[in-house]
Homo-oligomer: A and B are copies of this chain.
Amino acid sequence: MSVYLPGLEGVPATRSNISFIDGEKGILAYRGYPIEQLAEHSTFEETTMLLLDGRLPSAEELAEFDEQLRRNRRVKYNIREIMKNLPATGHPMEMLQTAIASLGMFYPGNEALTSSRMSEDLTYIHRMTVKLIARIPVIVAMWQHIRNGYDPIPPRQDLTTAENFLYMLNGREPDPLDADIMDTCLVLHAEHTINASTFAALVAGSTLASPYGVIAAAIGTLSGPLHGGANEKVVDMLEEIGRPENVKPWLDKQLASKAKIWGFGHREYSVKDPRAKILQKQMEKLARDRGGKISPLFETALALEEIAEVRLGPKGVYPNVDYYSGILYSEMGIPTDQFTPIFAVSRAAGWLAHWREQLADNRIFRPTQVYIGEPLREYVSIDRR
């Protein structure tokens, strides 16, 4: 029997050709393409196809997939009614898990997965993947209005995923730079090997559960504060710091007491996270574009980044992807508790790519345990306890 390693750290749980990380060299690649090149040249729609199919699509293939996504943005009114019955005080990630689980009842058919006719399965897998990728951002944006007591803004077919998401969220034409940065954020968060939520998707998928059940399991897993919630914490931290001039004394105090600085360091990387470098440039671009009109939070973030990079960089601790994404979303006026749902909008592409890969060579997950409990013993009746 293998040795027990807590959290299965270092234990391979799958064979995969979707992405890889070289944490010492600071490399993240989807299907072999470095994340820097995808962030610069690709879009969320194209990156999703790349993750799913393993290759960059032709112009026609991309146009067809994009058209399918646009046509699948409408959400049934029953789902909207379900959302209206959820308490406004609940966390949007719980809303998202609820709504996605419910979708499975409206789009049945996972018996296709038990068919031995793999060509039919692929049709089902593709159809359901489109439905999910198209609707997750729509549902996240709808909630922003429903929880405030308003009807959601209907989706538009003439916009990209990133543009339509910002349009539905804010109810106005999205700023082109904002939409461009949002698209880059979606590309950057789409996939990151076998983290906890992707692993949960593999485990659920291995029982041939429906993709809605699988993605709902992954969303529940991502909702945990040790996983998806870090970029929320960054904004809380920046609000605690307040003005830029408070950064230096605050950081001194934190470092002296060895307190956690949210958005710095990453278990997978010993050098700077390549996604953080890309987002740092986006942040600088946004700051230039806005000129003086940036929020105090943003200024505080820029100041903390500058000072912390000098102090922590030599120790291999850098601002990570969560640091920048939180600040960028915040500057776009997105509420803090919607950051993790945006993570899910993007990561759904990776989850579904892994789900498909799992099905192609499936074996149900059933690990073992180290039993450390009581040996066999006799039941004692209640009057003798």
The residues of A with any CB-CB pair to B shorter than 8 Å are 1-20, 27, 29, 31-34, 37-38, 41-42, 46, 54, 56-59, 62, 78-79, 81-82, 85-87, 89-91, 93-95, 97-98, 101-102, 104-106, 108, 110-111, 113-114, 193-197, 199-200, 203-210, 212-214, 216-228, 267, 361, 363-383, 385
Task: Specify the chain B residue showing the minimal Cβ separation from A361.
Answer: B6
Contacting pair B267 A369 (CB below 8 A): no
**Contacts of A195 on B, CB cut-off 8 Å?**
366
Distance in angstroms from A152 CB to nearest chain B CB is 15
Distance in angstroms from A338 CB to nearest chain B CB is 15
Checking B78, B214, B225 against A220 with a beta-carbon cut-off of 8 angstroms, the contacting residue is B214
Known A16-B373, A367-B13: A105·B82 in contact at CB below 8 Å: no
Known A16-B371, A94-B212, A371-B16: A217·B221 in contact at CB below 8 Å: yes
Q: Which 9 A-B pairs have the closest CB atoms?
A: A207-B224, A90-B105, A17-B373, A32-B374, A213-B220, A13-B367, A209-B224, A7-B363, A8-B367
Contacting pair B213 A370 (CB below 8 A): no
Known A214-B220, A364-B7, A369-B193: A31·B207 in contact at CB below 8 Å: no
Give how many copies assemble into the complex.
2
CA distance A47 to B201 in the complex (A): 30
Contacting pair A366 B78 (CB below 8 A): no
**Contacts of A226 on B, CB cut-off 8 Å?**
206-208, 364
Contacting pair B105 A369 (CB below 8 A): no
16 A-B pairs, CB-CB below 8 angstroms? A2-B11, A7-B364, A11-B368, A14-B367, A15-B372, A31-B374, A56-B379, A89-B108, A97-B213, A98-B101, A199-B203, A203-B203, A204-B221, A207-B226, A209-B221, A213-B219
Task: Specify the chain B residue showing the minimal Cβ separation from A228.
Answer: B207
**Contacts of A97 on B, CB cut-off 8 Å?**
101, 104, 213, 216
Contacting pair B98 A368 (CB below 8 A): no
Contacting pair A378 B37 (CB below 8 A): yes
**Contacts of A365 on B, CB cut-off 8 Å?**
7-8, 196, 199
Contacting pair A196 B200 (CB below 8 A): no
Candidate in A98, A108, A196 with the most chain B CB atoms within 10 angstroms: A98
**Contacts of A95 on B, CB cut-off 8 Å?**
105
CA distance A111 to B225 in the complex (A): 8
